[in-house]
């Protein structure tokens, strides 16, 4: 039986990832929920998502926004449109906006810095950026302008698989782990995560991913199932890397809950969302199940519907045609139905707060279920 002070090694994580017995999994869900309550509390924090551009220069094999996809109508929001969405976030009581885009060089460093400053001057919001791989100079500029957090998924710790699905720009090397460490040095709250069930991903790969969450001492962890887009290389079965059927991680709902729960055990103080991808594969109560199995964040979409339908990383996203008001009302009701409260304020990661307040005492590896110093 799991306890909230247990340690999980690689083989134990693999065992849990392969486990299907409902009684045993109920123990995992219960323990993850207890650890969540103990370390980040019962509040569910709302992050207002603004998808400000769907331009992208990358060739990622899984993403519908990839540069060669000619079936995408591209857009880039104006600063005033983004500010309008940020003001909506304040009106709804959100503590954070997440500015997300494809890897778009048209979002110039100075333009983004000015936008961040305007949001920070005009609102009390925390600003999270998710803009892909950018230069060290831009990361520093945006942090100086007031950006609080940065999200950059490493997607998989298997380097060979990563290079196949996420080729670098010509003449460059993609090293997202190094970027994450640099973001931490700059003082950002740092978030990362993986896709679950990427073709070619083994159970050992996924267990190493979960271990890497702890090694990176992440403040935010976002995980979701691989959802195939027909206009991508991974939409073609002939492209997909193959591993034996009994070693290929499934990209299903159950596996997503397992990874959320194990991520909570690996990084007790991190903020972990129940993602839109999870709601996409279970529109009825996917988010709710995520929230009782370790998650403590949801990300209602503030993107204007005319743009939201064009931000198609994968098809048939949940809530694609809802207004910002409708999305907020729906999620608030779902949270209340669980007996949980909507979080107030910025909702900073307790892990980041602890590192900021006691940098010398904060462990580089945060993979103990409980407080090592107790």
Domain 10-354 has CATH 3.90.1300.10: no
Using 50 as the pLDDT threshold, list the residues of the chain that sit under it: 364-374
Residue with structure tokens 């698989």?
161
At residue 235, the pLDDT reads 94
Taking the C-alpha atoms of residue 283 and residue 329, their distance in angstroms, rounded to an integer, is 16
What distances in angstroms separate CA 327 from CA 219, 247, 295, one per listed residue? 26, 38, 19
Domain boundaries, the chain: 10-354
Taking the C-alpha atoms of residue 21 and residue 35, their distance in angstroms, rounded to an integer, is 21
At residue 239, the pLDDT reads 92
CA-wise closest residue to 157 among 146, 149, 147, 165 = 165
Q: What is the pTM of this model?
A: 0.94
Tokens (6 digits) for 186:
């700059």
DSSP string of 294-350? T--EE--B-S-HHHHTT--SSSS-TTTT--HHHHHHHHHHHHHHTT-PBP-S----H
At residue 1, the pLDDT reads 75
């Amino acid at each position: 039986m799991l306890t909230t002070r247990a340690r999980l090694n690689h083989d134990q994580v693999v065992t849990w990832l392969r486990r299907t017995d409902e009684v045993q999994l109920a123990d995992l869900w219960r323990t993850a929920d207890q650890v969540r309550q103990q370390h980040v509390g019962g509040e569910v924090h709302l992050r207002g998502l603004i998808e400000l551009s769907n331009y992208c220069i990358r060739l990622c094999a899984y993403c519908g926004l990839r540069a060669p996809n000619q079936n995408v109508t591209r857009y880039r929001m104006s600063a005033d449109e983004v500010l309008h969405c940020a003001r909506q976030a304040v009106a709804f009581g959100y503590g954070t906006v997440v500015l997300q885009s494809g890897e778009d060089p048209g979002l110039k460093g100075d333009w983004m810095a000015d936008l961040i400053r305007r949001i920070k001057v005009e609102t009390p919001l925390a600003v999270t950026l998710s803009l892909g791989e950018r230069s060290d100079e831009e990361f520093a500029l945006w942090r100086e302008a007031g950006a609080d957090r940065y999200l950059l998924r490493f997607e998989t710790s298997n380097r060979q698989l990563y290079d196949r699905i996420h080729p670098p720009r010509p003449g460059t090397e993609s090293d997202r782990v190094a970027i994450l460490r640099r973001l931490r040095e700059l003082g950002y709250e740092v978030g990362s995560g993986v896709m679950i069930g990427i073709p070619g991903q083994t159970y050992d790969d996924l267990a190493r991913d979960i271990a890497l969450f702890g090694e990176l001492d992440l403040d935010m962890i976002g995980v979701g199932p691989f959802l195939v887009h027909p206009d991508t290389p991974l939409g073609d079965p002939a492209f997909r890397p193959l591993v034996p059927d009994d070693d290929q991680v499934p990209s299903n709902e159950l596996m997503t809950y397992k990874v959320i729960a194990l991520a909570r055990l690996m990084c007790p103080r991190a903020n972990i969302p129940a993602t839109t991808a999870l709601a996409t594969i279970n529109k009825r109560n996917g988010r709710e199940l995520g929230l009782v199995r370790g998650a403590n964040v949801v990300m209602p979409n503030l993107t204007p519907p005319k743009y939201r339908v064009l931000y198609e990383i994968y098809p048939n996203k949940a809530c694609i045609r809802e207004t910002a008001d409708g999305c907020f009302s729906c999620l608030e009701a779902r949270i209340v139905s669980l007996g949980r409260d909507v979080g107030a304020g910025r909702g900073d990661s307790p892990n980041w707060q602890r590192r900021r307040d006691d940098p010398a005492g904060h462990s580089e590896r945060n993979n103990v279920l409980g407080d090592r110093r107790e």
